[in-house]
Every structure is written in C-alpha cells, then in structure tokens.
Amino acid sequence: MAISSSNDDDKQTLSHVTYPAQSIDWLTRLIGFDTVSRHSNLALIEDVQAYCEQLGLSVDLTFNEAKNKANLFVTVPAGANANEVNRGLVLSGHTDVVPVDGQEWASEPFTATIRGDKLYGRGACDMKGFIACALTLLPQAAKLSKSGQLHRPLHLALSFDEEVGCLGAPLMLADLQERGIAPDYCIVGEPTNMTMVVAHKGIAVYRCRVHGKSAHSSLTKQGVNAISYASRLVGYVDTLAEEISHRNDNDALFDVPYSTLSVGTIQGGTATNIVPNLCEFTFDYRNLPHMTQDDILAPIQAKIAELNAQMQARAADTGIELLQMEAVPAMTDNDSAELQALIAALTKDDKRHKVAYATEGGQFTNAGIPTIICGPGSIEQAHKADEYVELSEMVRCDEFLQKLLKSCAVS
C-alpha cells in the first residue's frame, strides 16, 4: 500500500459536507475486512502493520491462543524527550464487529456506501470510523517525531474480540506492563457523537443451571420441577433488580442512574407431560463503578442455598449451579480529571457524560491508565442493520485528533 501523508488541503466535498478524503478512504478499506468476532482479524491487522512499518514505526502484536486473532500496538516515539518513550497517550479501538445475520441491509454491509451525508457499513460507527481517523493521523505524528517536535509519545492500540467480552485488551495490557510501557492517558474511540464520556458501567453475565428430577406429569410428587424452581429464582432476580434501582447511592449523571439486573434467555423442559429435569437461564448485571458483583452475588447465592435445601429434601442429586460467563469492569472517573480538562479545552465543551454500556475503558482504568471515551458516530446506530456514521462526525473526529496531536507537540 502506498503511504499518503495527512494534508488539510486533501479534502473532497460530497452532499454539501467537506470531509478529509483520507479518513473516508481508510474507513472504506477497514469496512471491507469482515472482522465479525467469530472470524479472524489478521488480514486487517496485517494491513495496518504494513502501513505502520512503512512509516518507520515498530509494531507489537499479541495473539490469542489459536493464533488467528491479534492485537496491534504501535508507538510514535517522543523525539523531544526519549525518557518519556514509555509514557504518552493511547488512541484505542477494537477491530471486531457484530454479525449481520438476519438483518436486512439496503447495501452490502462489508462494502462502504455513501448515501447522502452518511457512510454505511458494518463497523462504520462501532468503531472503525475512529480507527480510520487515527490511522490518518499517524504520518503527521511520525513526521513530528522525526523532527524532534513530539514531546509526548502517541500510541495506537487495536484489539480483537471486544464485542464478545473484551477478551483481547487484557492480553495487550499485560504485554505493555511486561514491557514497562505505562501510558499517561487513553482515549477509547467508541461512538459518543464526539462528546466526552468519563465513566461507564461494568457488566457481568451469569448462566444459572437448575437440575431437577424427571417424572411423569401425573406423578409430580416423584419429580423435582427444574422450571418451577428456576422461575422462583428468576422472580427473585427481578425483585433484587427493583431493590437496587432504589438505592440511595445511585448516580444521576448516568443515562440509567442505577445498577441493573436483567434475565436475558431461558430454556427448559422436553414435553408437557414430563416433569423437567433441567432449566437454564442467563442474566446480566450492569453495575455502577462504585458497586461490585458481590452486591448482587451474595443475596442471589443465599437464595440459591435456600432453594437447594428445598430441592434436595425431595431428591439429593438436584440443585442449582451458578456460572459466570463474562465480566468487564466499569470505567471510573476517579483519576482522569487532568485528561478531562485537556479534552474539554480541545473540544470547547466541558460536559461530562456517563453511560450504561461497557467498553474496554474499564480495563485501561484497572491497569492504572486514566481513560475517557470519545469517538465519531452514535451508539444508537451500533449493531443495527444499515449502520452508519455521518460524514460530519468524521470531520469532527479528524479535527479533534489534530488538536490532540498539537497538544503532544513542542510549541
């Protein structure tokens, strides 16, 4: 691939929107890689790696166990102060996207299509739009580094499997710690309409398996009905959800100001005339940053112990097991005041938002890296058919990153 430099004059006009052509070109290219989480992302990663290496930048990859997916971490070093090579600012994005199965698209989801003032394609806003803008910035950052004008390192972090539990980022963060790289800040470019999100909830997903005892439905006393006991526990989860929604330590700055519990799936039974011996259901817990899993686990486990005693009084080999399927930590704003002030100054907008959805931001804050979320597009368009990003949002993101780069350069 030929490397093109970032140039403010290299713009095109479409549907009355003037936009930087290179960012749109990069986004078109990225959408063309089918990086649905069940597939490999290596083709995209290798393309970005080649681009970075042509710029003279060293790329580090961390792989999953199967070696068919990789994270990419690349650093534009600080030419003005070599002692700060391991610090700096991270621009972070995930390369995987959600499936398009069962969705009706007006255009091919893995071919970027511009209609009106919007660019359509899977990942357009979630979150290849931000990655495209960050990649467009790299040549200019590399030039500043070579001339000694970059006083703070700039890092780009691309991860895999964010959409299926944020599985890739922890491997990359562990690698950075081993290499002694401790960035000062991180900006995760999830779609926020280029507003500043300073905190988000965590998420934990659980599977509950209720093991009963089969019997003919005319002889119910000889069985233990797994569905009936599952329904009692589901009812308790709903009751607990109502209770935690009325705690006195909820946070009104969140779009949903309390922690939530929600049952998502349930299945059980084989026939109407058989007392079911198995029922499974899943639920998720979206916690405010100051709350923990123990806040709901302790009462749920106590309820399970109560139901187990009832079930096992009828049949010893029955009972309920609770399995944790995934967990993503909340992102706090405890240590990001300095970063928030920088972003507010660059965007001329000091509004702080907190959101219910989870990102890799919590993993960065858990690693001791103050983090905010800010990226082009709306979360309302994510995961839907005809996902899009407005061209004006790409313009705003490019302008924001230009200002951010200038803040990293020697005045």
Catalytic residues: 96, 162
- CA–CA separation, 411 and 146 (whole Å): 16
- CA–CA separation, 128 and 133 (whole Å): 9
Which token pair is 306? 């109560």
Q: Could you tell me which residues come within 8 angstroms of residue 310 by beta carbon, excluding any fewer than 6 positions away?
A: 229
CA distances from 103 to 3, 95, 98, 383, 384 (A): 36, 21, 11, 10, 8
- CA–CA separation, 388 and 24 (whole Å): 12
- CA–CA separation, 4 and 51 (whole Å): 10
- CA–CA separation, 411 and 409 (whole Å): 6
CA 221 remoteness from chain centre: 48
Q: Dihedral, CA atoms, 245, 251, 257, 261, nearest 10 degrees? A: -50
CA distances from 168 to 47, 185, 358 (A): 19, 19, 15
